[in-house]
Amino acid sequence: MDTGFSAYAAEIQRLMTERTAGQPLAFVRTYGCQQNVADGEKIKGILGELGFGFAGSAEEADLILFNTCAVREHAEDRVFGNVGALKSLKRRKPGVIIGVCGCMTEQRPVAERLGKTFPFIDLIFGTHVLHRLPEMLHQVLANSQRVLLLGQEETTIREDIPIRRDGRSRAWVTAMYGCDNFCSYCIVPYVRGREKSRRPEEIYRECQGLVEAGYKEITLLGQNVNSYGKGLEEPVNFAELLRRLDGLPGDFRLRFMTSHPKDASQELFDVMAESRHIPHHIHLPFQSGNDRVLQEMNRRYTREKYLALIRCAREAMPDVSFTSDVIVGFPGETYEEFQDTFSLIREVEFVNLFTFIYSPRPGTRAAEMPDPISHEEKTRWFAELLKVQEEVAGKIGQRLVGSRQRVLVEDRDGKTGLLSGRTASSLTVMFPGEDGLIGEFAAVEVTEARGVSLRGRLV
Ligand code: SAH
Ligand code: SF4
Ligand code: F3S
């Protein structure tokens, strides 16, 4: 298939071989969420069409790209650190091309600061223009020019970008781009732009191809998949999209993330309950258990509404499990309000939590709010939160001992040498077994639980 990306291939190959011996190698390092991982796979897809091979490390590469995340300060600091560390590499290997892309660069002041701090960066581009990588690269190579390309949001979704997937059994499929929610703490709507849904038939075709190629797990991606379908010609909501994809033949799991509680619906739970391929697990971030904090966060649901959703989901699927994201120390949050987060965790019993200390993001509304609690204090709250979750996880783990689980085997754990797989409820089980099982489903009996870290044996 000629996707148009290979048009530059011969010229780029010629220019690259002036700098390197043999096939040029690229190294793409991705930070942040699955959306970024999916973008990284597209960037690698394009580079593959341009004739690049792939290196296992930055040291071996002729083109190094950092695909960045802006969601917390720590994520940005890491990128500054890691790009800075390439200074001596660039001195030793002046022909190497260094680029920075992803969410960080969508904030113009940050992109400019990156360019100024690190004069050896050749290429800076945003998330909305990654399909223009061939011409940007050509400009860098042919004119020895530094390229900075940002913004310029496309109105249509490019469906012709090749994808070079990292995994052979698990795949990411974008259902929608962007976010319209503007939670007051969050940078994502500013760097990813407005919500745009892919046409259902494009998603169907991609999933069909994956199942036919033997993929065992497909995860549909979007910052708020429950608002899927807005603006499509054909009115299809997320539940309907799932229903259609669930009709695909084959043995595979269909997951999705992230669900926003304000848009999760009974229809969604019903489709999950009736489906053949969708595990009974929902990632449903609540962020805070306190109504005042939720309102300040602009989450547009209350604690009661959240708990009602959990009840509805459990009624539809008695075996459903939940995971969630939580923010600790939102500006103005008191310790008393934070107790409501604990009680919600105990009430729902999440199998896993992704916990974050609030990080101010310039340009967001929360960054302007008074934030009197010190970082040390928030770190103590955070530690308490982990303890509460450990306690909950321990209870869930104990209940699973003796049960039989169907797991998708993902890889071999480096530390224990055991195989590691995931249950339908998104829990990890480790057990002894052969390499041949990696990428396959296996039946495992849970023999032991240390928190939610489960051990088992093949049955
Ligand atoms: N769209 C998803 C989340 C995307 S960002 C949703 O709405 O659930 C992933 C998580 O990062 C968020 O759920 C939130 O818990 C956390 N997060 C986002 N901005 C943050 C900030 N400024 N400080 C700390 N955590 C943040
Ligand atoms: Fe950020 Fe809220 Fe959008 Fe999630 S829904 S990406 S937290 S603004
Ligand atoms: Fe980070 Fe961008 Fe995802 S800011 S969390 S990589 S959408």
CATH number for region 165-279: 3.30.750.210
- pTM of the prediction? 0.96
Asked whether the beta carbons of 191 and 107 are under 8 A apart, the reply is yes
Closest C-alpha to ligand 1, atom 4: 223
Q: Report pLDDT digits (tens) over 44-92.
A: 999 999 999 999 999 999 999 999 999 999 999 999 999 999 999 999 9
Distance (Å) from CA 212 to ligand 1 centroid: 34
Q: CA-based angle 156:222:78, to the nearest 5?
A: 105
The CATH class that applies to domain 5-149 reads alpha beta
How many angstroms does the Cα of residue 71 sit away from the middle of ligand 2? 10
Structure tokens at 167: 């995994």
Which of 28, 29, 31, 33 has most ligand 3 atoms within 8 Å of CB, for mutation? 33
Q: Ligand 1 pocket test: pick from 288, 327, 375, 381 the residue with the most ligand atoms within 8 Å of its Cβ.
A: 327
Residue 8: the pLDDT is 87
Q: How far, in Å, CA of 121 to CA of 125, rounded?
A: 11
User: Regarding the domain delimited by 404-458, which CATH topology (the fold level of the hierarchy) does it fall under?
Assistant: OB fold (Dihydrolipoamide Acetyltransferase, E2P) (2.40.50)
Q: What's the confidence (pLDDT) of residue 1?
A: 43
- The set of protein residues with a Cβ atom below 6 angstroms from ligand 3 is 32-33, 35-36, 69-71, 103, 187-188, 191-192
- Contact 378 CB / ligand 1 (< 6 Å): no
* 52 CA to centre of ligand 1 in angstroms: 34
Q: Where are the domains of the chain?
A: 5-149, 165-279, 404-458
Residues whose CB is less than 8 angstroms from the CB of residue 311 and which lie 6 or more positions away in sequence, other chains included: none
What confidence score (pLDDT) does residue 17 get?
Answer: 85
Helix H or strand E segment including 64: strand 63-68
Distant-in-sequence, close-in-space partners of 113: CB < 8 Å, separation ≥ 6? none
Asked if residue 260 has its Cβ within 6 Å of ligand 2, the reply is: yes
What number does the ligand 3 atom closest to the CA of 223 have? 7
Given this model, what pLDDT does residue 154 score?
Answer: 67
3-state secondary structure of 433: coil
Q: Point out the ligand nearest to the CA of residue 366.
A: 1
Confidence at residue 3, expressed as pLDDT on a 0 to 100 scale: 54
Cis peptide before 258 (omega within 30 of 0): yes
Intervals of the chain under pLDDT 70:
1-3, 152-154
What is the atom index within ligand 3 of the atom nearest the CA of 104?
Answer: 4
| Rounded Cα–Cα distance for residues 115 and 147 (Å) | 10
Substitution site in 28, 30, 34, 35 for ligand 3 pocket (most atoms within 8 Å of beta carbon): 35
